[in-house]
Amino acid sequence: MDIKKLAQEVFEIEAKEIANLSSRITADFEHAIHAILQSSGKLIVSGMGKSGIIGKKIAATLASTGTPSFFLHPGEAYHGDLGMIEENDIVLLISNSGETDEVLKLIPFLKHQKNCTISMSGNEESTLAKNTKYHLNIAVDKEACPLFLAPTSSTTATLVMGDAIAVTLMKLRDFKEENFAKFHPGGSLGRRLLTTVGDVMKKLELPTTKPNATIKEVIQRITEGKLGLVVVLDESRIKGVITDGDIRRAMESREKEFFDLFAKDLMSLDPKLIDANEKLITASAIMSENKINSLLVVNTTNDFVGVVQMYDLGI
């Protein structure tokens, strides 16, 4: 057997089914989106088996993109957890067949409580489809499973429909990076968007020197500072910066006079600065744009207070 070909067949089958899914979108999708947007409650997702596993991912995606959501196991719901569903909540029920008993058992309670219900199934004539307010068709013509038994294309279709809901809601809510970061403070994006330069900058034993410092003193300060640079100050004001690269280039181009040079002869007069209150994402953009790996940090009165480097950004 050609293993590579077998894998490619799976990709081709599922890709075709996903492409067909877009033609199954009806007005119910739009109505469901508007209902979620107007709701003051949560979007609760429920499903059994493989549908339940996909439902957990859908709920997680929604929760992280601005729609309060959680997954509720239908079996647990029927045995007491229905109390987690409040009147203002919208409930998304998932069943490929539309006839899953554990899911259908929830409908009488939801109708009695007058919850708005949305269903996903592969059968528009199913019991589930007929007993929910809005139905999203996730029908597929072919599973990738050679026995046509294991949910493959159908679970992928369910996942994509869930992504379509989440992304549509994101766009309609104008959900931005800053919003996403609030729900992901531990991730690299959250770190860059929520953390300030002042939170991570080096501020102790900073390598500094004066304009009249000798080249030997400059080299010594660069070595002691372990940042690959020394900041030239007049009082607390930045006059320039000298990097280890500046030292190497001067040794090559000004070899004869090298040891007669002073800091003011080597320093770059226009180092890149950043305010300590700026976010890391701003520091990252400045470094990338200027192809540098260090920024000098100043406070609101433009005094030198620290150094931030690329590896401090966690990217």
Q: Mean pLDDT over all residues of the chain? A: 91
Of 273, 291, 271, 283, the residue nearest 315 (C-alpha): 283
Q: In the CATH hierarchy, which fold is given to the domain comprising 194-313?
A: CBS-domain (3.10.580)
Read off the pLDDT of each residue in 154-167 and give the average, rounded to a whole number.
96
Q: Is pLDDT of 252 > 60?
A: yes
The per-residue pLDDT for 284 is 86
**Lowest-confidence region among 67-71, 89-93, 165-169, 309-313:** 309-313
CA distances from 111 to 29, 52, 114, 137, 151 (A): 20, 21, 5, 21, 29
Q: Please report which confidence band the pLDDT of residue 177 belongs to, taking 50, 70 and 90 as the band edges.
A: low
The per-residue pLDDT for 236 is 79
Alpha-carbon span 100 to 213, nearest angstrom:
80
The per-residue pLDDT for 64 is 83
Alpha-carbon span 263 to 62, nearest angstrom:
56
CA atoms lying within 13 Å on the CB side of residue 252: 5
The per-residue pLDDT for 234 is 87
The per-residue pLDDT for 89 is 97
CB contact at 8 A, 75 and 48: yes
CA atoms lying within 13 Å on the CB side of residue 236: 10
Q: Where does CATH 3.40.50.10490 sit in the chain?
A: 3-175
Q: Which residue has the higher pLDDT, 80 or 162?
A: 162
Q: Please report which confidence band the pLDDT of residue 80 belongs to, taking 50, 70 and 90 as the band edges.
A: confident
- First vs last Cα of the chain: how many Å apart? 43
Q: Is pLDDT of 190 > 80?
A: no
Beta bridge partners, 275, equal 298
Give pLDDT tens digits for 8-31.
999 999 999 999 999 999 999 999
The domain 3-175: what is its CATH number? 3.40.50.10490
Q: Where does CATH 3.10.580.10 sit in the chain?
A: 194-313
Alpha-carbon span 215 to 101, nearest angstrom:
82
Read off the pLDDT of each residue in 137-144 and give the average, rounded to a whole number.
95
Alpha-carbon span 7 to 134, nearest angstrom:
35
Give pLDDT tens digits for 260-306.
999 999 998 989 999 999 988 888 889 898 888 899 999 989 899 99
Strand, coil or helix: 158: helix
